[in-house]
């Protein structure tokens, strides 16, 4: 994976299959991890999908720039990222009804699964086709022309595990595709850890170990609000040499916070004043509650990070 998503949240799987017994069994298998929506015919699915709109599709994540002096390139970038809109996604309970993956059986009356997939090819939603042995070559051709994203043979002895792996892969790719333009916009200023393979691998492992199911970027350093399976919040705070030097330069003339600036310059501490809170909003005696000893990850550059419980 060349990049990781700027946000990722729990979504809905759609199943289209006229075999009621099969779909009940398989949906029961996956319902512990995914919200599911079932259609027993291509027509009923298309009737629904033709009027469907994802929560994220109505969100605008860019806003007009006010020329803040902190951002030296704003004279070249008339718009900037509105991180509040990204956090609004977390606060929007309807987000879980967004559809990231559609799983369709090949053999259905009236319209084959492959024909159905080609009708929705322009959608951002990812498509997995369930096949029999006889349809393998058709599925390979469809995969090569991007009509489908994955295919799984129903009779495969590893069917459930393969399907679960593919669902995870294409769901992540769904959010990568959605957020890639935003990442490109942010990286007009400086590269983010979200495009560093070392950080991506590290963060994927952290997500698995800590049972993280959702995350949302909230600043220009790539810091993220993360949520685990129990709904507990964490702030994954990230700084770089660039961000720490910029912080020190901004506050270096204030003698009342000299000890804090020295700690940053020695890289003993990193600042985090809270979600969308700035240092100037706090009196110097309060700063002590907002400085943390960092961990260090060496990737494309050196990342100073700390997880703060929400």
Residue-wise pLDDT tens digits, 250-293: 999 999 999 999 999 999 999 999 999 999 999 999 999 999 99
Average pLDDT over residues 94-103: 95
Confidence at residue 50, expressed as pLDDT on a 0 to 100 scale = 92
With cut-offs at 50, 70 and 90, classify the pLDDT of residue 25.
confident
Q: Which residues contact 179 (CB under 8 A, 6 or more apart)?
A: 5, 6, 7
Contact 106, 139 (CB under 8 A): yes
CA angle 17, 134, 108 (to 5 degrees): 20
What domains lie within the chain, and their CATH numbers? Answer: 9-189 (3.40.50.2300), 224-309 (no CATH)
Average pLDDT over residues 176-199: 94
Confidence at residue 74, expressed as pLDDT on a 0 to 100 scale = 43
Give the Cα separation of 6 and 83 in Å (integer). 10
Residue-wise pLDDT tens digits, 132-172: 876 778 888 999 888 999 999 988 888 889 999 999 999 99
Residue-wise pLDDT tens digits, 218-258: 999 999 999 999 999 999 999 999 999 999 999 999 999 99
Q: Is the pLDDT of residue 69 over 80?
A: no
């Amino acid at each position: 994976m060349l990049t990781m998503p700027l946000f990722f949240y729990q979504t809905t799987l759609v199943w289209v299959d006229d075999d009621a017994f099969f779909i009940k069994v398989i949906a029961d298998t996956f319902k512990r991890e995914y919200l599911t929506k079932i259609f027993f015919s291509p027509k009923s699915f298309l009737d629904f999908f033709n009027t469907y709109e994802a929560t994220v599709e109505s969100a605008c994540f860019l806003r007009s720039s006010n020329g803040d002096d902190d951002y030296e390139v704003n004279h070249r970038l008339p718009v900037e990222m509105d991180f509040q809109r990204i956090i609004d996604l977390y606060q929007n309970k309807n987000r879980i009804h967004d559809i990231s993956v559609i799983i369709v059986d090949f053999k259905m009356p009236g319209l084959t699964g492959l024909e159905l997939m080609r009708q929705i090819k322009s959608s951002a939603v990812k498509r997995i086709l369930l096949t029999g042995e006889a349809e393998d070559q058709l599925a390979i051709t469809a995969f090569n022309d991007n009509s489908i994203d994955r295919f799984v043979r129903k009779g495969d002895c590893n069917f459930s595990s393969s399907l679960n792996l593919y669902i995870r892969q294409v769901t992540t790719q769904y959010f990568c595709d959605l957020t890639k333009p935003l990442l490109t916009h942010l990286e007009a200023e400086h590269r983010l850890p979200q495009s560093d393979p070392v950080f991506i691998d590290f963060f994927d492992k952290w997500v698995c170990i800590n049972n993280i199911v959702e995350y949302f970027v909230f600043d220009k350093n790539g810091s993220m609000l993360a949520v685990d399976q129990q709904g507990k919040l964490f702030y994954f705070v990230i700084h770089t040499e660039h961000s720490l030097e910029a912080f020190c330069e901004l506050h270096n003339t204030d003698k009342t916070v000299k000890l804090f600036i020295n700690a940053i310059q020695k890289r003993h501490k990193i600042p985090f004043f809270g979600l969308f809170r700035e240092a100037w909003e706090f009196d110097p005696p309060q700063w002590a509650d907002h400085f943390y000893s960092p961990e260090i990850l060496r990737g494309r550059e050196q990342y100073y990070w700390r997880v703060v419980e929400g």
